[in-house]
Amino acid sequence: MFTRRILTLAVLVVGLAAAPAASADIIPTTPLPACGAPPCVVSVLHGATPLPYPSTAGDQYSIFVSTYVLIGARYFSFLIDDGTATMTTADEFTITINTGSTYPAETFARGQGVVVTRSGVAPGPYTVRMTLRPVRMA
């Protein structure tokens, strides 16, 4: 017997960073804090209900948001997975990230019904909001 996981995953490819990443097999990531100084997580919603971020053991959903630099470009990624709640493909999540002075150019998502909203003007701060529903992962 096997189990299926349902998760929401997205990666934002944004502007060029100041320095290229070091050559290594493992790309170091930096977890994003809840908003204070950018880059940071503005909010995470399940439907219209705010979710705690950063998540801790015992929360309904496990939420991880990070940033990293690869070949001179800054990336932001997030993952929302089951915590104490069981996620379904009908659940809707919205995450808003303040990317600071980094323009959120491209987005890639593994989800359904994805809506991406970018805001801000040069020199920033910029924000990107993604609303999506989870997809089944075998």
- Contact at 8 Å (CB) between 74 and 15? yes
> Per-residue pLDDT for 138 more than 70?
no
- The mean per-residue pLDDT over the stretch 83-107 comes to 90
Between CA 115 and CA 53 the distance in angstroms is 21
> Per-residue pLDDT for 24 more than 70?
no
> Per-residue pLDDT for 44 more than 70?
yes
> Per-residue pLDDT for 2 more than 60?
no
Query: Closest Cα to residue 107, out of 30, 41, 10, 31?
Result: 10
> Per-residue pLDDT for 1 more than 50?
no
- The mean per-residue pLDDT over the stretch 81-104 comes to 90
Q: Which of 17-21, 47-51, 52-56, 68-72 has the lowest mean pLDDT?
A: 17-21
pLDDT for position 13:
52
pLDDT for position 47:
96
Q: What is the mean pLDDT of the chain?
A: 83
- Contact at 8 Å (CB) between 130 and 109? yes
pLDDT for position 100:
92
Bigger pLDDT: 129 vs 5? 129
Bigger pLDDT: 135 vs 9? 135
Query: Closest Cα to residue 101, out of 54, 42, 40?
Result: 40
